[in-house]
Amino acid sequence: MDAMEIDSAGKDEEGKAKPVMVILIGAPGSGKSTFCDLVMRVSTRPWVRICQDTIGNGKAGTKKQCLTGAASALKEGKSVFIDRCNLDREQRADFVKLVGPQVEKHAVALDLPAKLCISRSVKRTEHEGNLQGGKAAAVVNRMLQKKELPKLNEGYDRITVCQDEKDVQGAINTYTSLGPSDKLPPGFFGQKTSDAKVQLGIMKFLKKKDPPGCSDAVMNVSRDNTLSHATKEKDSNQVLESCEEPKMASVGSSISLENAPTLAFPSISTADFHFNLEKASDIIVEKVEEYVNKLGNARLVLVDLSQHSKILSLVRDKAAEKNIDSKKFFTFVGNITKLYSEGGLHCNVIANATNWRLKPGGGGVNAAIFSAAGPILETATKAKAGSLSSGKAIVVPLPSSSPLFSGEGVTHVIHVLGPNMNPQRPNCLDNDYIKGCKILREAYSSLFDGFASIVRTQEESCKDKFDKEFKGEVQLEQGSRSGDQKAKREAVCETDMNKKFKSFVKELGPNVGSSVDGKTGGQSRKAWGSWVQALYDTAMHPERHKNIIEMSDDVVVLNDLYPKAQKHLLVLARVEGLDSLEDVKKEHLTLLKTMHSVGLKWAEKLLCENNSLTFRLGYHSVPSMRQLHLHVISQDFNSNHLKNKKHWNSFNSPFFRDSVDVIDEVSQNGKAILKDENILSMELRCHRCRSAHPNIPRLKAHIGSCQAPFPASLLQNGRLVFSER
């Protein structure tokens, strides 16, 4: 391959960044092809995917063909993904040797659990390499015996190891945002296990007299943390004489940073106010470095909407040079008003680059935040102040009725006003950057001070709660008990500060599925909150979830995570745009019949196992979770998860629409009849004899002995499914 002329900044003579060769490493089913597809679909950098399964005119080819194809693409200045398993060093070596310093050599290891890879491989159909079905399990198991994670001493500039799906998404975001002129920092990213040193190709031998505690040190290399250039230049087999070299991220605290208080902020004054990006990035990094350790476990996140944001690129590089802890400060591409629902990033505080009037309108971040938060933010802001001076910030607690609070978990908005260099805007500084830089520093100080005050308030609240709950139970003592108490206090604080988001994460986890759990919807699709997306994600991406018991092109079936009876299944529609029964039209009639047929099949199967059961199939008029789903529920209602009036009435009132009735109504009228949520507050009545009861325990006691036949209305038109006995 002909050499390209590269300048000292790692760019060619035309100013473009070096092409990148990314060697993907992972077992079948680890998601290599999906990784390539997701990046190439939106990236502004020209990529070529070299896949051995298709390189022979759409059919499987050879490693030699892959090497030839990669060389050709790189010579044209394109970046390439090497989509092969590449599980051992020998398989990767020829690709690393293929290019010299004129090409960046990266490795992305999708080191996902074997069980997940096998499950995906077995379930997939029409795979390019025809590795699917029953034979896949044995192949994946055999290949994983040879797994050898990459090391920097193989010749890579950058290695990313992904050990779960969140890591994978982070790596996808990183390469998606890599524009034609961008360059990623070198180093090793993402290894979470305590043997990260081994993966770096480094052995550590301690001196006879090591610093105190050195023998217990753990090198914690995060996906965002970069090795210093000095470390990179060391021979990878060098014997380390001190635990202080190379300097790595410190051992994490006992509280998960992922759930720590987090401030998401835009770059102040660089958009509408036209502040110089180089100067602004210097000030951002300067102020972050000043505050990041003062904030304890709290995180700072610089956000921009653009995939190829110049300010993000500048700040990333400068923060890496300063060795700022990338767990506590990092950059993120996304809509600042939808960081959790669209990006999975939990930020309980967001900053608004506002105007001096503290009013909605204009463009950019200010308009977006006021719009997303609703009119209540303007009201809450007015209660705090009527205007704002340049360089100042004001903290506004966000009322819980705001969509930003309920949907994204944002508890506070901090309005901040920076200096203006735009002659079209009020109070322009006429290019006076001495004054402008002074004001911008003051703006970031005010912003971070405001965030610090929120963090302190939360910590004090947690301390008060701890003292109240554990007074007399735990005492401050010397030795291990003081450490135990500290951990216990931190645990209480973490629970208190992040209770809302932990519930979100639980609902969005791999074992999803729920029905009405004391929460009611009644919202339009645009107002769906974060936690209610779980069923939608299951329907659209069933391969990510473990609790699927049946899957087809039209539906997926799973057990409800919080069953309200002995047997409670959900049949999910796999169609975009069908959030609830309200969205169903006549064109969906075939799908409704399919869902009913699948539900009926499962009811009959369960009846074969226990013919004493009776089943009902139906929909909630207003679901608590997004994505149309049919409930298949036994009528014993014997479940610890059935706890309140809403639970009961959601299945035993007109609010619950029988599947057969819905099909008839859609067939005749083009839509289903929906009942108001007010029905959920009606009195508790037995679904068999219709007797009234004062509370759930009394009702459950009655149900256990009630022998009355079901009402005639339920016995008609096949609304109940039971065994002929």
Phi, psi of 443 (to 5 degrees): -65, -45
Helix axes 277-291, 310-321, angle to 10 degrees: 50
Write the CA distances from 213 to 196, 209, 253, 417, integer angstroms: 18, 11, 16, 46
Q: b/e map of 327-356 (b: 16 or more CB within 10 Å)?
A: bbbbbbbbebbbbbbebbbbbbbbbbbbbe
**pTM of the prediction?**
0.38
> In the prediction, which pLDDT does 494 show?
44
Whether 161 shows a pLDDT value over 70: the answer reads yes
CA distance 558 to 572: 8
Other beta carbons within 10 angstroms of residue 4's beta carbon come to 19
Decide if 342 contacts 335 (C-beta within 8 A): yes
314 token code pair = 């500048």
Whether 497 shows a pLDDT value over 50: the answer reads no
Q: Judge whether 629 counts as a catalytic residue.
A: yes
157 token code pair = 């500039």
Whether 374 shows a pLDDT value over 50: the answer reads yes
95 token code pair = 């690709």
Residue range 536-549: mean pLDDT, rounded:
86
Domain with CATH 3.30.428.10 in the chain: 525-722
Band of the pLDDT at 115, cuts 50, 70, 90? confident
Phi, psi of 572 (to 5 degrees): -100, 135
- Among the listed residues 563, 661, 658, the one whose alpha carbon sits nearest the alpha carbon of residue 620: 658
More confident residue, 410 or 4: 410
What are the residues facing 715 on neighbouring strands? none
Residue range 25-45: mean pLDDT, rounded:
88
Band of the pLDDT at 126, cuts 50, 70, 90? low
Whether 44 shows a pLDDT value over 80: the answer reads yes
Residue range 226-230: mean pLDDT, rounded:
33
CA distance 593 to 666: 11
More confident residue, 177 or 198: 177
Pairing mode, if any, of strands 299-304 and 329-333? Answer: parallel
Q: Which of 629, 631, 647, 687 is catalytic?
A: 629
Q: State the sign of the Cα–Cα–Cα–Cα dihedral 221, 226, 227, 233.
A: positive
CATH architecture of 257-460: 3-Layer(aba) Sandwich (3.40)
Write the CA distances from 155 to 80, 148, 160, 247, integer angstroms: 17, 15, 14, 21
Cis peptide before 246 (omega within 30 of 0): yes
CA distance 581 to 628: 6
CA distance 531 to 508: 6
12 DSSP assignment: B
Decide if 415 contacts 447 (C-beta within 8 A): no
Q: What's the chain's average pLDDT?
A: 78
**Top-tier CATH class for 525-722:** alpha beta
Residue range 574-578: mean pLDDT, rounded:
90
101 token code pair = 């310093």
CA distance 348 to 256: 15
Phi, psi of 550 (to 5 degrees): -160, 145
Q: 10-24, 494-508, 514-528, 692-706 — which is least confidently predicted? A: 514-528
> In the prediction, which pLDDT does 560 show?
92
Decide if 70 contacts 50 (C-beta within 8 A): yes
Whether 551 shows a pLDDT value over 60: the answer reads yes
Phi, psi of 611 (to 5 degrees): -80, 5
Whether 664 shows a pLDDT value over 70: the answer reads yes
Which helix or strand (DSSP H or E) is residue 160 part of? strand 158-162
- Three-class DSSP labels, 493-561: HHHHHHHHHHHHHHHHCCCCCCCCCCCCCCCCHHHCCCHHHHHHHHHHCHHHCCCEEEECCCEEEEECC
CATH architecture of 20-205+219-240: 3-Layer(aba) Sandwich (3.40)
Residue range 481-505: mean pLDDT, rounded:
46
Q: Measured at the alpha carbon of residue 484, what is the angle toward residues 480 and 488, in degrees to the nearest 5?
A: 170
Helix axes 135-144, 114-123, angle to 10 degrees: 150
CA distance 647 to 470: 33
What is the distance in angstroms between the CA of the first residue and the CA of the last residue of the chain? 78
